[in-house]
Amino acid sequence: MSVAVVTDSTAYLPADVVAHFGIEVVPLYVVLAGRSGREGSDVTSGEVARSLAVRGGHVSTSRPTPGDFVAVYRRLLDGGADRLVSVHLSGELSGTLDAAQVAATQVGEHLVTVLDSRSAAMGTGFAVLAAARAAADGASAAEVADAARQTAAATRTFFVVDTLEHLRRGGRIGAAAALLGSALAVKPVLHVTDGQVVALEKVRTSARALNRLVQRAADVAGDAPVAAAVHHLAAPERAQRLADQLAARLPALTELYVSELGAAVGAHVGPGAVGVVVDPTPRPATEAGQRPQDAPPPGPSEHGQD
């Protein structure tokens, strides 16, 4: 049985991984400066960062349409896939999952399994990658879906933002939680739990916030093999510093990706955001398949789709 894997553009998988495994990416839409375009091709993260940096600048996002998913699902099935596994951004954060589910009913729910990662960015991406690896190994649709579910449940996402205003304005965090960031010199450390963005703790400076991201990642990793990803928006130096610290602190790091957030998520976290995603369920290097980059020696490597 041939199983194809589908995701949306907020997974922020490295472009070479997408190409290698033949993962199909359905883009979200981003609206800024009076125009709407697809994330990653029509609207870049740089454009979003510049727009949000201007006082009064506003960026909004919208989900793919069910028709977008129907077109992709039918093309993959017509192209030889027997079953599809479609893994997406948390349904608590976007209507993307709902659009995929509507499309699945139109194409045939016996052919398409739609999964909610309950996460975002590489919190979704690592689940998609686990599914794609299982599919490449000839697993059944049920086994591919289970690989995604297990990875999504285990993966942890932590991040800090310069201001909570963008998350509040987009409805991704409550007004009460947003007040936490308005206190003098307080930098909230946030995480994604049960599909929602939640304040985890507060520290007094940006440097301490980054240190807490590293410590949180180390707590998840322990001494076991892990994969990790560092995301940022218009903060490459901070991201690189975080990646260097992770490489030094995680003794059994098997994969480390560094990438700028795309426009859809970037619009909600704002410039200066930095985060780390930890996947404690990576495959050993000897099982990584044909792609040697799946298990590089610990150290940052820059990837991205934008």
What's the average model confidence in pLDDT over 182-189? 62
Residues 248 and 144: their CA atoms lie apart, in Å, by 33
State residue 166's pLDDT score: 53
Where is pLDDT greater, at 125 or 290? 125
Spatial separation of the C-alpha atoms in residues 234 and 231, rounded to whole Å: 10
Judged on CB neighbours under 10 Å (0-12, 13-18, 19+), 123 is buried
Contact 195, 91 (CB under 8 A): yes
Closest among 38, 37, 26, 36 to 104, alpha carbons compared: 26
Q: What per-residue confidence (pLDDT) applies to 295?
A: 36
Distance between start and end Cα atoms, the chain: 33
Of residues 167 and 109, more confidence is placed in: 109
pLDDT band at 181 (very low <50, low <70, confident <90, very high): very low
pLDDT tens track for 207-260 = 888 899 999 999 999 999 999 999 998 899 999 999 999 999 998 999 999 988
pLDDT score at 299? 39
**What's the chain's average pLDDT?**
84
Q: What is the pLDDT of residue 52?
A: 74
The answer on pLDDT for 301 being more than 50 is no
Residues 26/229/90/146 CA torsion (nearest 10 deg): 90
What is the identity of the amino acid at 227? Answer: A
Per-residue model confidence as pLDDT tens digits over 150-160: 999 999 999 88
pLDDT-derived band of residue 277, with 50, 70 and 90 as boundaries? very high
What is the band of 296 on the pLDDT scale with cuts at 50, 70, 90? very low
Q: Mean of the pLDDT values across residues 151-177?
A: 69
Confidence at residue 167, expressed as pLDDT on a 0 to 100 scale: 56
Position 286 pLDDT exceeds 60? no
Among the residue ranges 133-137, 186-190, 222-226, the one predicted with the least confidence is 186-190
The pTM of this model reads 0.86
